[in-house]
Structure 1
Amino acid sequence: MQDIRNIAIIAHVDHGKTTLVDKMLMAGHLFRDNQPTEDLILDNNDLERERGITILSKNVSIQYKNTKINIIDTPGHADFGGEVERVLNMADGCLLLVDAFEGPMPQTRFVLQKAIEIGLKPILVVNKVDKPNCRPEEVQEEVFDLMYSLNASEDQLDFHTIYGSAKQGWMSDDWNKPSDSIQPLLDAILKYIPAPKRLEGTPQMLITSLDYSNYVGRIAVGRVHRGTLESGKDYALCKRDGSIVKTRIKELDVFEGLGRTKVEKVSSGDICALIGIESFDIGDTITDLENPEPLDPIAIDEPTMSMLFTINNSPFYGQDGKYVTSRHIYERLLRELDKNLAMRLEETDSSDSWIVYGRGVLHLSILIETMRREGYELQVGQPKVIIKQIDGEGYEPVEQLTINVPEEYASKIIDVITRRKGEMTSMENKGDRMHIEFIIPSRGIIGLNNIVLTLSAGEAIMAHRFLEFQPWKGPIEKRLNGSIIAGESGNAYAYALDKLQDRGRFFIEPQTEVYAGQVVGEHSKEGDLVVNVTKSKKLTNMRASGSDDKVQLPPPVIFSLEEALEYIKEDEYVEVTPKAMRIRKIILDETERKRLAKKG
């Protein structure tokens, strides 16, 4: 029997987790001819690389001193809580990775809390000690205080600490004495992380993760809890609702390096992938056919936000998308439900729109962005917070928000957040920056990122995580400025935009195709304004002094997908196609809009 260690890696966004895993893979000699590659190997989908975040958890393994180390890369964002819960169930210990300057952050806390509840033994890795003004010792004390406040056991509080720089490729027990490799970390894993307990008896495996292949369909991934699984044999699949189905494992794979290797059987403690199991869900148990004993299913965080998804019915529909019909979009959303645990789908009265529930704006915008890149065209409405009725009273989701900002901007930011029903819970100085914590309704966070960055000249670092449902906090003031709406379809002219500059700021540049009802800018006052941006200059054969001056336009405001979703009002949609993103009024016709406004 081979020695095994199963570890999950926990870290806040951008603390160097994926870089560290890449260095561990290099130490396990997983590259062709041991040549390191420049790319991040684990964050292998384009979206993850562009944003520098991990969205999907991944499994890889390395061999070190005759021991197989299974590494599970977890997302740091609270929006992907569904991913985190499942993957921690496969581990026996975790590496808690913390930046030597920033210290533990809210998202570290989110995943660490889950790991401590499950009972995982942590090793603290203080990364980026090569940074100027880093404070490794203080950070280690902060982590101890954090774990104490999360009710960690004495065994968990007695954690081992390693210092180093993943980017430079070294780890050491003393940060003042750099080593020349990351071997001290691998030795610490073998020494401090317990090997999985070998449980004999009838086989049991909880399905905690999913893989998908175009050839074999859905693949169940999990850790064998007890006994041995063999390929080609029949087993019982115990579902969440208590029903039991007979199923057969057609192929059994274990993770080796960056890929998977086919094996005949897998014993208790190892992580494996099962091919050929039909109609399973995350949280189901594979167990003995004669004597089925299901394991407890995983508790999944509930969604906190919803958005309306609908087909693209704007005048520009079908121009650059491959999949535009309601059938295409509905099938794609159903496929997403297969692997996206924290997502729910609800059908509406009309056949071409659906309500999609998720963990936050980021969670849903990643889905929209992925669909867009696959060639789908769709429209999405304003994100709405889920309100729960408890004893006849409305309860809404509340989040913990932390903002790290230079001292001179702190008062402006506190003012904005308290206006959005945020309550300040703590405030401390860290050098020349302030670290402020708030409790704020999820509604108040929608659209906040943009405002905070503007007020702090781009200096603020903002992070938030879901806490609980609390009684409704009352109305929150939203964007007061109205929209500038195109009154006619056609090409936008610089001449027209120039004459309208004093009315507000624009989202389009000259020569952009627009349609009537499209939102082309933000009005400088309240209330919507309909303008004609397609008006060209009437030419005469007379020259007039001063009238032929060169037009000078400020650059247009360009939104990212999340910003657009957070910006729109209730009567607006974001139209998303593979090549473009536009904001539009739900009702394009101006007279129709006025008639409905009169009706109220």
Structure 2
Amino acid sequence: MANNIRNIAIIAHVDHGKTTLVDKIIHASKIFDAHQQFDDLILDDNPLERERGITIVSKNVSVRYNGTKINIIDTPGHADFGGEVERVLKLADGVLLLVDAFEGAMPQTRFVLGKAIALGLKPIVVVNKVDKENCRPDEVHEQVFDLMFNLGASEDQLDFVTLYGSSKQGWMSTDWKVKTDNLIPLLDAVISSIPPAPTLEGTPQMQITSLDYSSFVGRIAIGRVHRGTLKEGSNMSLMKADGSIKKVKIRELHVFEGLGRVKVDEVSSGEICAVSGIEGFDIGDTLADADNPEQLERISIDEPTMNMLFTINNSPFFGKEGKFVTSRHLRDRLFKETEKNLALRVESTDKEDTFLVFGRGILHLSVLIETMRREGYELQVGQPQVLFKEDDNGKRTEPIELLVVDVPEESAGKVIELVSMRKGEMTIMEPKGDLQHLEFTIPSRGLIGLRNNVLTATGGEAIMNHRFVDYEEHKGPIPGRIAGSLISLETGPGTAYTIDKLQDRGSFFVDPGEEVYGGQVIGEHTRPNDLTVNIQKGKKLTNMRASGTDDNAKIVPKRQFSLEEAMEYIQKDEYLEVTPKSIRMRKILLDENERLRYAKTAE
């Protein structure tokens, strides 16, 4: 049976159509019963994934074609979730590299493909979206070949099959000018060019690459059987990171079948399975023979590049919206997250209610914060900080990223100016269709808050992507936000009268009637310094009749921030307060006199 299995991972840049292609393969394989109805993006079952249109957690699904079982792993495309990709590639023997026929190979494509080639996986290239205008499939095919060559692919890997098609329309073909009406050429290519999962005889070995949770059986270990056969009810050794060995027993075994799982008595090498009944395991541990345990090489995950301070919500409005507000809740939730989110690290600080959380980038951390607020947590986070290192010569180094911006030609100058101000250096500038394609190397610090400025300067027409490259020498100070904050003096609802009178001092983040508290950041000042204002004052009323000189208040709508924008916006002396229904910015020290005292001592 094991020889009749193909394990493939689908890798691509964000929005190039991975999950859509998996949808079509699932539909083409007739997994569903006739009465079952499913929406699009079947595998993106997490509400956050559906809203943002991105895959955050990798998923497994299997289809059967011509007597062969194909295990498909849908992976995230964003570099912030690279930890997910690095571990699931261990399950695969080959990869489907999906590339947009217009955009070509993008930064994250290179990032994930580099990992796959280093593991020796056989690629199949799918040039997707050939139904789009301005597409250039032949150029993209050459570009992918050059990319693989530059990444050090072997002769066998460079001899890849290329298919063209549209996953949205559900067709694939070996020639992009010849449109078919199904995905058969793709499934044929998988069976003919991806090597079958190897069958290795000997004592059983399985590396745990992912985990699931069930309220009935607890934590479930998922991985690929590397060697031998796993049997239900057998005793095994669990080999941990610290070298310790723990005796465990397999209670149940499941293999992936269609969109679900099927219980089996035994699983032989090459198959991906789920094991329940094991306690105390971590991702990367090896499940081995009870008598002669042998450990598999642990999964190596790239280091985090950014950290943020997480603390309990102690604002005047705490506990109004959330269920989980104590430091114990926060601690338990953060440490629970590290069990399945490999690229995340949590460290306790000298304060009981404050934790340092290390991640891959703003998106990686914001998905955690958004998930927690939806679960009913209230918390506060500080300004994201980039992690610096010292090299062998004692010099300070910082993470450098490759930034790619596609922008209309008339806006290219503004983008170059904005990136250069943040110590970015342009390496490539070339036309790409009707857009200008710009590439820069830029410190990770320079990316914080940059997206907002670029989108404002280009009227929302810029497409930005970035990926971590390496640590290089520190580039010196980078100017942060130029404008100061407008801070509320009192607690209570703001009045339209006062907000109207203060509009020349800056733009507001709150509407009239909205409850605010003293020390909350309620707007952006037009000048670099912070300004404390009282927006609760009402108009002085007299019993004299006004002679019609009062104008109605004309108030500009408040500025709305997404979670990521707010995380990038706050300054060092500010917190972002996140509750299930609200996102507020505030000063760490709410009292104005305390802030002034602190500023004097800091000088």
For 2:32, the equivalent position in structure 1 comes to 31
1:340-376 CA deviation, whole Å, 9 max, x = no partner? 1011111111111110111111101100000000000
**In the aligned structure 2, how far is the partner of 1:454 from the partner of 1:148?**
38
The amino acid that maps onto 1:524 is: T
**In the aligned structure 2, how far is the partner of 1:194 from the partner of 1:542?**
90
**In the aligned structure 1, how far is the partner of 2:162 from the partner of 2:554?**
58
The amino acid that maps onto 2:76 is: P
Secondary structure at the aligned position of 1:114 is classed as helix
For 1:145, the equivalent position in structure 2 comes to 146
Confirm or deny: 8 A CA contact 1:86 1:208 kept in the other structure.
yes
Question: Alpha-carbon deviation of 1:396?
Answer: 1.0
**In the aligned structure 1, how far is the partner of 2:302 from the partner of 2:195?**
28
For 2:555, the equivalent position in structure 1 comes to 553
Question: Alpha-carbon deviation of 1:546?
Answer: 4.3
The reply to whether residue 303 of structure 1 matches residue 304 of structure 2 is yes
| Residue 430 (structure 1) aligned to one of 409, 418, 432 | 432
1:512-543 CA deviation, whole Å, 9 max, x = no partner? 00000000000011100011111112222333
For 1:16, the equivalent position in structure 2 comes to 17
The amino acid that maps onto 2:62 is: S
**In the aligned structure 2, how far is the partner of 1:171 from the partner of 1:568?**
47
**In the aligned structure 2, how far is the partner of 1:433 from the partner of 1:368?**
35
Confirm or deny: 8 A CA contact 1:26 1:36 kept in the other structure.
no
For 1:326, the equivalent position in structure 2 comes to 327
Matches within 5 A, 1:191-210: 191-210=192-211
Confirm or deny: 8 A CA contact 2:134 2:433 kept in the other structure.
no
**In the aligned structure 1, how far is the partner of 2:594 from the partner of 2:493?**
24
Question: Alpha-carbon deviation of 1:548?
Answer: 3.0
The structure 1 segments of at least 4 consecutive aligned residues displaced by more than 6 Å after TM superposition are none
**In the aligned structure 1, how far is the partner of 2:35 from the partner of 2:144?**
35
The amino acid that maps onto 1:302 is: E
| Residue 482 (structure 2) aligned to one of 466, 480, 483 | 480
**In the aligned structure 2, how far is the partner of 1:545 from the partner of 1:91?**
80
For 2:402, the equivalent position in structure 1 comes to 400
Question: Alpha-carbon deviation of 1:415?
Answer: 1.2
The amino acid that maps onto 1:433 is: L
For 1:595, the equivalent position in structure 2 comes to 597
Secondary structure at the aligned position of 2:54 is classed as coil
| Residue 469 (structure 2) aligned to one of 451, 467, 470 | 467
Question: Alpha-carbon deviation of 1:168?
Answer: 0.9
**In the aligned structure 2, how far is the partner of 1:374 from the partner of 1:257?**
29
**In the aligned structure 2, how far is the partner of 1:35 from the partner of 1:149?**
46
Matches within 5 A, 1:219-230: 219-230=220-231
Secondary structure at the aligned position of 1:139 is classed as helix
For 1:169, the equivalent position in structure 2 comes to 170
The amino acid that maps onto 2:274 is: A
1:426-467 CA deviation, whole Å, 9 max, x = no partner? 111112211111111110111111011111110111011111
Secondary structure at the aligned position of 1:33 is classed as coil
Matches within 5 A, 1:427-576: 427-576=429-578
Q: Which moved more, 1:35-44 or 1:351-360?
A: 35-44
Question: Alpha-carbon deviation of 1:217?
Answer: 2.1
**In the aligned structure 2, how far is the partner of 1:354 from the partner of 1:546?**
57
1:7-51 CA deviation, whole Å, 9 max, x = no partner? 000011111111100000111112231765233110100100000
For 1:185, the equivalent position in structure 2 comes to 186
Show structure 1 runs of 5+ residues with no match: none
| Residue 412 (structure 2) aligned to one of 397, 410, 413 | 410
Secondary structure at the aligned position of 1:89 is classed as helix
Confirm or deny: 8 A CA contact 1:399 1:442 kept in the other structure.
yes
For 2:344, the equivalent position in structure 1 comes to 343
The amino acid that maps onto 2:529 is: G
The amino acid that maps onto 2:439 is: E
Confirm or deny: 8 A CA contact 2:249 2:278 kept in the other structure.
yes
Show structure 2 runs of 5+ residues with no match: none
Secondary structure at the aligned position of 1:186 is classed as helix
**In the aligned structure 2, how far is the partner of 1:488 from the partner of 1:207?**
54
Matches within 5 A, 1:224-303: 224-303=225-304
1:265-305 CA deviation, whole Å, 9 max, x = no partner? 00010000111111111111111111111111111111110
The reply to whether residue 361 of structure 1 matches residue 338 of structure 2 is no
**In the aligned structure 2, how far is the partner of 1:229 from the partner of 1:367?**
35
The amino acid that maps onto 2:214 is: S
**In the aligned structure 1, how far is the partner of 2:252 from the partner of 2:527?**
64
From the superposition, tell whether residues 343 and 566 of structure 1 become closer, same or farther in structure 2 (CA, over 3 Å): same
From the superposition, tell whether residues 547 and 250 of structure 1 become closer, same or farther in structure 2 (CA, over 3 Å): farther
Question: Alpha-carbon deviation of 1:212?
Answer: 1.8
Confirm or deny: 8 A CA contact 2:402 2:439 kept in the other structure.
yes
Secondary structure at the aligned position of 1:429 is classed as strand
**In the aligned structure 2, how far is the partner of 1:157 from the partner of 1:545?**
83
**In the aligned structure 2, how far is the partner of 1:199 from the partner of 1:34?**
41
For 1:579, the equivalent position in structure 2 comes to 581
The amino acid that maps onto 1:249 is: I
The amino acid that maps onto 1:544 is: A
**In the aligned structure 1, how far is the partner of 2:154 from the partner of 2:162?**
17
| Structure 2 length-normalised TM | 0.98
**In the aligned structure 1, how far is the partner of 2:378 from the partner of 2:584?**
12
Confirm or deny: 8 A CA contact 2:233 2:250 kept in the other structure.
yes
**In the aligned structure 2, how far is the partner of 1:233 from the partner of 1:541?**
89
Secondary structure at the aligned position of 1:323 is classed as coil
**In the aligned structure 2, how far is the partner of 1:262 from the partner of 1:253?**
4
**In the aligned structure 2, how far is the partner of 1:332 from the partner of 1:513?**
29
Secondary structure at the aligned position of 1:47 is classed as helix
**In the aligned structure 2, how far is the partner of 1:212 from the partner of 1:341?**
16
**In the aligned structure 1, how far is the partner of 2:40 from the partner of 2:552?**
46
**In the aligned structure 1, how far is the partner of 2:423 from the partner of 2:330?**
37
**In the aligned structure 2, how far is the partner of 1:85 from the partner of 1:318?**
39
Confirm or deny: 8 A CA contact 1:300 1:342 kept in the other structure.
yes
Secondary structure at the aligned position of 1:56 is classed as coil
Secondary structure at the aligned position of 1:543 is classed as coil
1:71-124 CA deviation, whole Å, 9 max, x = no partner? 001111111111111000100001000111111110111100100000111111
Secondary structure at the aligned position of 1:563 is classed as helix
Confirm or deny: 8 A CA contact 2:20 2:40 kept in the other structure.
no
Question: Alpha-carbon deviation of 1:392?
Answer: 2.4
**In the aligned structure 2, how far is the partner of 1:189 from the partner of 1:486?**
62
Confirm or deny: 8 A CA contact 1:26 1:34 kept in the other structure.
no
For 2:111, the equivalent position in structure 1 comes to 110
Secondary structure at the aligned position of 1:119 is classed as coil
Confirm or deny: 8 A CA contact 1:305 1:384 kept in the other structure.
yes
Q: Which moved more, 1:29-38 or 1:298-307?
A: 29-38
**In the aligned structure 2, how far is the partner of 1:542 from the partner of 1:548?**
13
The amino acid that maps onto 1:567 is: Y
Confirm or deny: 8 A CA contact 2:201 2:227 kept in the other structure.
yes
Secondary structure at the aligned position of 2:553 is classed as coil
Percent identity between the two aligned chains? 67
Confirm or deny: 8 A CA contact 2:23 2:40 kept in the other structure.
no
Say how many residue pairs are matched.
Answer: 600
**In the aligned structure 1, how far is the partner of 2:593 from the partner of 2:549?**
35
